[in-house]
Amino acid sequence: MGRAFLTLYAVTANRAWLRRAEEAVQFISANFKADIGYITSASAAELKSKPQVDENVSVARLANLLYQFTGKAEYTQIAGQAVRFLSAPGFADRRGFLVAGILLADREIGAAPLHLAIVGRKSDPAARALFAAALKQPVAYKRVEWWDKDEGALPNPDVQYPELEQAAAFLCTDRSCSAPIFLPDKISSLVGRPPEG
């Protein structure tokens, strides 16, 4: 459910979904945390529940992406708890058929996602067109945000965006962004190239 809530936030920019995703991950951490990793059942002693690979891959990826959207360090700790189980010595050798998920989680945790930010009012058709174009980028690991100043600061205020007279998109990496992009078609041409500036 946490992944579903975070996906709903990513495609709607409705912050209520982000809060629900945070609540789901906090519930997982509070109720399913094991010595290393996360278990399936809160009553582990009764059911002899053990951490499962696919579930810990999902928790690691979800918590990491939630960190990207919120900037809250607690989610890196939750992701790290899951990764400690997945990276136990000799674990990948015993679970060769599940290594792809582990490698995907490791890759995502080790790098920032594609980051596209839209600056403009949610009532503005130009901003909506830019947001739709950003969402269409064929990258699975991405952070698409929409800053409407009427809603206050973004949940992760790691980048300061200018207030412009017209809606604009920005392609960002490591706290720096491209020049403003005003046309939806230009987003695709910039994805895959580092931003200028």
Query: Does 99 share its domain with 166?
Result: no
If you search the block for the tokens 């459910």, which residue do you land on? 1
101 and 45 together in one domain: yes
State the average pLDDT over residues 125-138: 96
What letter would DSSP give residue 150? G
Looking at residue 9, its pLDDT comes to 97
Residues 178 and 156 in one domain: yes
**Final residue in a domain of this structure, among 109, 140, 160:** 109
**Alpha-carbon distances, residue 12 vs 5, 9, 138 (angstroms):** 11, 5, 17
Q: Has residue 6 got a pLDDT over 60?
A: yes
197, part of any domain: no
pLDDT at 197 over 50: no
Residue 175 pLDDT > 70, yes or no?
Answer: no
Residue 196 lies in a domain: no
Q: What is the pLDDT of residue 94?
A: 56
Give the range of the structural domain holding residue 101, as residue numbers without chain letter.
2-109
pLDDT band at 195 (very low <50, low <70, confident <90, very high): very low
pTM (whole model) above 0.85: yes
At position 96, the amino acid (one-letter code) is G
Structural domains of the chain, count: 2
| Cβ(36)–Cβ(80) below 8 Å | no
pLDDT at 66: 98
